[in-house]
Structure 1
Amino acid sequence: MNLRQVFVSVLMFGVAGLLLFMYLQAWIEEQHTVSGEELQQQIINQDFKLPPPGETRRAAQNRSAPAGLSKQETAASGGRHSQGKADPFGVVAVSLASQLPDQQKMTESFLNQFREVYLPPAMRPLNKSLIKGDKWKDVDGAQEKRRSFLYGFCKKHNSRKKLRTHLVHVVSRIYVEDRHKILYCEVPKAGCSNWKRVLMVLNGLAASAHNISHDDVHYGKHLKKLDSYDLKGIYTRLNTYTKTIFVRDPMERLVSAFRDKFEHPNSYYHPVFGKAIIKKYRQNANEEALKTGSGVKFKEFIQYLLDYHRPVGMDIHWEQVSKLCYPCLINYDFIGKFETLEEDADYFLQLVGAPAELKFPNFKDRHSSDERTNAEVVRQYLKELSKQERQLTYDFYYLDYLMFNYTSPVV
């Protein structure tokens, strides 16, 4: 073997060794990285508790909502602090000047999962050049407060560090409408079906939102998602398109999802989720229930949701918005709420230059004869749970309550 062959052999072994070292290092880091769900479980096991029943409601009634915001949008009343401090999140000002108390170690720990990200240094102003007159003054005021509140909240808990979560995963729930340069993050049970219809009309795929079926919306694959583009395409759109998210009170969204997927015939959720839930959480389940997965009770569903070792994985219909749309990683330009869905949506359509005749549809996508899920309906479902189960369910969605300034429920 001549000198050149020796050199090539040594070089090849060196490269192979380097690759092996990099693989082992990545594997070790992965094994020692606490997932968001594990982190959440650690945090909610601490001493964070909700206020006594009725305290949150009385506090909300005794304070007026900030100008431009409904009472439902007043700050989330976090629970009693382990050191006996007053409720730190009871009255959170909706502005960039608002600061969450430093002693909230629980929140700090929970938000560590967002510390490895880069938040843009400034909130991009909305282009309001297409808005005429004073018709949208109140809606615009509420919008600016929501944007400022979320931006200030995320800025408090972020630092400029390397993004660990892969960008393609972060944007996997975002739909793209290139004609009007819109990015819409899908939050199920918060008007997403009708939003997809609107995007299809804007994209020239349909003449009217009212003529698009449920199957075409959800299974037609007519709309592109942001993760289908290359990295350059993703970055370009994130930096230049108008990014919007529509959210909903977490408990209402949860109950709505349960009613939709488990109280009506469903060829997917019953055999996949229903069978697994009944098998694990129902004592003496009969053969019919085990075979079909139909008839899941709300209490059983909550047991599944709170189980660290779930028999079947999570689903987007009840996943936290913080994990679906990453509101502290993506600087959303527009934050709509289900509670003011139509006026928020129509204002947004004006902002992006949609045709004047296009209005956000207000029809219910499915089960139109059912009563809409509202606060009273939610209360009836929560009665089926123990106080501890209600508390843990709130804890599960704690970050969503804080990020979007929802009032915590009375449990």
Structure 2
Amino acid sequence: MQPSDSVMNLRQVFVTVLMFGVAGLLLFMYLQAWIEEHPTASGEKLQQQIINQDSKLPHPEELATAPKYQSAAANLNKRRTTVIMGRHSQEKASPLGEIASSLVSRLSEQQKMTEAFLKQQVNLSPVMRPLNKSLIKDDRWKNIDEAQEKRRYFLYDFCKKYSSENRLRTHLVRMVSRIYVEDRHKILYCEVPKAGCSNWKRILMVLNGLASSAYSISHDAVHYGKHLKKLDSYDLKGIQTRLNTYTKTIFVRDPMERLVSAFRDKFEHPNSYYHPVFGKAIIKKYRLNAHEEALKTGSGVKFKEFVRYLLDSQRPVGMDIHWEQISRLCYPCLINYDFIGKFETLEEDANYFLQLIGAPAELKFPNFKDRHSSDERTNMEVVRQYLKELSDTERQLTYDFYYLDYLMFNYTMPIV
């Protein structure tokens, strides 16, 4: 073998290794970008819950200097530019350049697919529009109106301060999946379980002409009758039109009160769904030396066990809307809600809202307890009794789990 042949072989080996190395690097970046655009729930940390697919709010410690976050699509485009400009500008004529060009072309196709996907999303205006108060004829709503304006501006300022511009652009399916539509009075209501949602859906049914009185509608008809339409059942134009023109309302509740209320409702009373699905899994994982009967039925879950499930990043069963964060149910920093009601002042807020949208004068928000009417209502004193079952660390972690809800709606952590 001639020396020149040896040199050529070494060059070929070097070029081949280099080609595979760069190809592997490009493939890695491609897969990383794909993974970022298709996150899995199992990889999310409890204190780093995302509000949407493209961006997230900072952890509490970061709020003072909250950075802006880029979307997966922007990151993909940035990587493409770096690869093209920094690594392959002088390799177009080589075999390595041809392979790189082919891979970059595939990345270009992926970018086009991403852009096409983003076209199915909607940009919502960050401007908060004033409430139409033309139908309010007297001063008896003055205090409620002042409280309402304070809530609106508080949430608006919070989202403006801590949300990136990318947050205003997100996929619609999840964002509007909990929003109910009442077309007659042009209302969008985002359902927050354990914050008066059953009676609110009764009101929507009456407004829509499906019932003459809210008091005549059963619990099953409200939740299983499928009489009301959700916003995600409309096409893209229908969704965008309603988001931009209808009056959007959300009713919220102190996070700990809502959590305790959900636990009492689903685990302290017979339940053919939550006991076998959630109860059995919770007892099996978090109760030492559990009795066979408890493992078989899933009944008798303790609040401490329920909280351990809630805080477990590897929880044996998924989340449920009754204790999911409001920030992930209704996306308050993506959708500018025109009216923010609170469970603590539910009747006053609800009846004022009905006046705003021109509801029939005789229609009043029902004040009855939807289920387990003989039980004491879950209030802050009841909550404190349940929180005493937890350690200081567990209480703090539970607060951290709902910290966005606390911040957005100006609630304070209860003192035990």
Question: TM-score when scaled to structure 2?
Answer: 0.75
Task: Provide closer, same or farther for how the CA distance between residues 122 and 410 of structure 1 changes in structure 2, counting only shifts above 3 A.
Answer: same
TM-fit CA distance, 1:158? 2.6
Q: Distance in 2 between matches of 1:114 and 1:125?
A: 30
- Counterpart for residue 310 of structure 2: 305
Q: Structure 1 residue aligned with 2:176, among 150, 171, 184?
A: 171
Q: Contact 2:384 / 2:415 at 8 angstroms: preserved in 1?
A: no
Q: Deviations over 1:139-183 (max 9, x none)?
A: 000000100000111111234337564112100000000000000
**Residue ranges of structure 1 left out of the alignment (5+ in a row):** 1-22, 45-77, 82-101
Rate the CA distance shift 1:403–1:132 in 2: closer, same or farther, 3 A.
Answer: same
Structure-to-structure mapping, 1:237-248, within 5 angstroms: 237-248=242-253
* Equivalent position of 2:271 in the other structure: 266
Between 35-44 and 228-237, report the one with greater CA deviation.
35-44
Q: Distance in 1 between matches of 2:218 and 2:294?
A: 31
Q: Distance in 2 between matches of 1:244 and 1:103?
A: 27
Please say if 1:387 is aligned against 2:411.
no
The reply to whether residue 329 of structure 1 matches residue 321 of structure 2 is no
Deviation sequence 1:35-60 (CA, Å, 0-9, x none): 7886653559xxxxxxxxxxxxxxxx
- Whole-angstrom CA distance in 2 between matches of 1:37 and 1:393: 19
Contact 1:143 1:336 in 2 (8 A): yes
| Corresponding position of 2:35 | 31
2:228 alignment counterpart: 223
Per-residue deviation, 1:119: 5.5
- Structure 1 CA distance for aligned equivalents of residues 249 and 29 of structure 2: 38
Q: Which residue of 2 aligns with 1:187?
A: 192
Q: 8 Å contact 1:193–1:218 — kept in the other structure?
A: yes
Deviation at 1:133, TM superposition (A): 1.0
1:317 aligns with: 322
Letter in 2 for 1:171: V
Q: Indicate which of 229, 233, 253 corresponds to 2:258.
A: 253
3-state DSSP of counterpart to 2:181: strand
Kindly provide the CA deviation profile for residues 225-275 of structure 1, in whole angstroms up to 9, marking residues without a partner as x. Answer: 000000000000000000000000000000000000000000000000000
Instruction: Tell me the amino acid that sits aligned with residue 227 of structure 2.
Output: H
CA contact (8 A) 1:118 1:161 kept: no
Contact 1:118–1:329 under 8 Å retained in 2: no
1:9-408 equivalent positions in 2, closer than 5 A: 28-32=32-36, 41=46, 104-105=64-65, 108=66, 120-161=125-166, 165-408=170-413
Specify the SS of the correspondent of 1:130. coil
Q: Is the 8 A contact 2:44 2:313 kept in 1?
A: no
Query: Does the Cα contact within 8 Å between 1:270 and 1:292 map onto a contact in 2?
Result: yes
* % identical aligned pairs: 78
Q: Distance in 2 between matches of 1:143 and 1:252?
A: 21
Gaps of 5+ in 2: 1-26, 50-58, 75-121
2:165 is paired with a residue whose SS is coil
Q: Secondary structure at the match of 2:180?
A: strand
Change (3 A) 1:263 1:162: closer
Give the count of matched residue pairs.
Answer: 332
In structure 1, C-alpha distance between the alignment counterparts of 2:310 and 2:217, rounded to whole Å: 33
SS in 1 for 2:146: helix
Deviations 1:88-115 (A, max 9, x none): xxxxxxxxxxxxxx8724xx36x85999
What amino acid is the match of 2:36?
Answer: H
Find the residue that maps to 2:222 and give its secondary structure.
helix
Distance 1:373 1:162, change over 3 A: closer
Contact 1:127–1:351 (CA under 8 A) maintained in structure 2: yes
CA–CA distance in structure 1, aligned partners of residues 249 and 260 of structure 2: 24
Q: Equivalents in 1 of 2:167, 2:260: separation in Å?
A: 37
Is the contact between residue 246 and residue 335 of structure 1 (CA under 8 Å) also seen in structure 2? yes
Question: Structure 1 stretch 311-320 or stretch 152-161: which is displaced more?
Answer: 152-161
TM-score, normalised relative to structure 1: 0.76
Question: 1:27 offset after TM fit, Å?
Answer: 5.7
Give me the whole-angstrom Cα distance separating, in 2, the residues matched to 1:231 and 1:225: 13
Range 111-120 or range 374-383, more displaced: 111-120
Q: Which of the pair has the greater relative contact order for Cα pairs under 8 Å at 6+ separation? A: 1
- With over 3 angstroms needed to count, the CA separation of the structure-2 counterparts of 1:113 and 1:265, relative to structure 1, is farther
Amino acid at match of 2:385: Q
The verdict on how the C-alpha distance between 1:352 and 1:212 changes in structure 2, with shifts beyond 3 A counting, is same
- Pair 114,253 (structure 1): closer, same or farther in 2 beyond 3 Å: farther
Contact 2:267 2:299 in 1 (8 A): yes
